[in-house]
Amino acid sequence: MYATLIYQSLGWDAGHQALAINGIQAVLQLFIVFVNTFTVDRFGRKQLLIWGFAIQAGALLILSSLTTSFPQNNNKAAAVTEIAMLFIVGLTYCWSNGPVPPAIATEIFPQHVRDKAFGISALGQTICLIALTQPWPRFNNQVGPRSYWLLFALNVVALVSVIFILPETSQLSLERMDKIFGQIDAVEGGEQQGSKEVAEEENLAVGRTINDGGDAEKDGTVDHVESAQRT
């Protein structure tokens, strides 16, 4: 949202430099977003997030270090590297923590609350984005070059959270999603319930067969006794 302002704050403010850089990045992002289409099921949601946050954290670490070391933007090599790091952050977002979280939110919740939970999740993501992006220009003006350390810290927190908290949901159908949280697999539960019902029906059928056989034997015995008495 504020890419042009960020590029200007990094010293790329001559003519239309910031606008041109932002345009190049936007075009590249249109193509990079297709990477997620071919990797989200092959490598898994969790792995894409781990690699994405790790790459972004590394790029933001370099960016924050350079902006802190050269606050006046008087080093051309540092300025070029800063732009490269912002490109890496933006392009990584397109195949990692941009499209993956909504995909996880549509499948990770229990079936009876999935639609409502996804709506709440999307609302929460929107609120967090607004809370971060809206104050950013003022925050950047007041804190200066050190403001990028906040973005680095947020990526580190997200990376740790994904590694230790988020389960992998790829290669699992929606009906089997509850199993990763220690609950009953809906498919296996249905199969077990079906097997149990079949077994009960078979037992009832066997019981009826035995009862019918016993009644027939009893009737035969009674007829034999009556015949003997008549004789």
The dihedral sign for the CA sequence 79, 83, 84, 85: positive
- Summarize the confidence of residues 215-230 as an average pLDDT: 53
C-alpha triplet 227, 229, 231: angle, nearest 5°: 70
Residue 140: its pLDDT value, please? 83
Q: How far is the C-alpha of 9 from the C-alpha of 77, rounded, in Å?
A: 16
Residue 222: its pLDDT value, please? 46
Residue 152: its pLDDT value, please? 95
Residue 25: its pLDDT value, please? 76
Tell me the per-residue pLDDT of 28-80, one tens digit each, with 9 for 90 and over.
877 888 887 788 888 889 999 999 999 999 999 999 999 899 888 778 888 88
Residue with more model confidence, 14 or 140? 140
Residue 210: which pLDDT band, with cuts at 50, 70 and 90?
A: low
Q: How far is the C-alpha of 194 from the C-alpha of 196, rounded, in Å?
A: 5
Q: Is the pLDDT of residue 103 over 80?
A: yes
Q: How much of the chain, in percent, has pLDDT values that exceed 70? A: 71
Nearest to 58 by CA among 85, 79, 38, 21: 85
Q: Is the pLDDT of residue 128 over 50?
A: yes
Q: How far is the C-alpha of 108 from the C-alpha of 185, rounded, in Å?
A: 13
Q: Is the pLDDT of residue 22 over 60?
A: yes
Q: How far is the C-alpha of 11 from the C-alpha of 72, rounded, in Å?
A: 8
CA 154 to chain centre: 18
Residue with more model confidence, 85 or 192? 85
The model's pTM is 0.71
Q: Is the pLDDT of residue 200 over 90?
A: no
Q: How much of the chain, in percent, has pLDDT values that exceed 90? A: 21
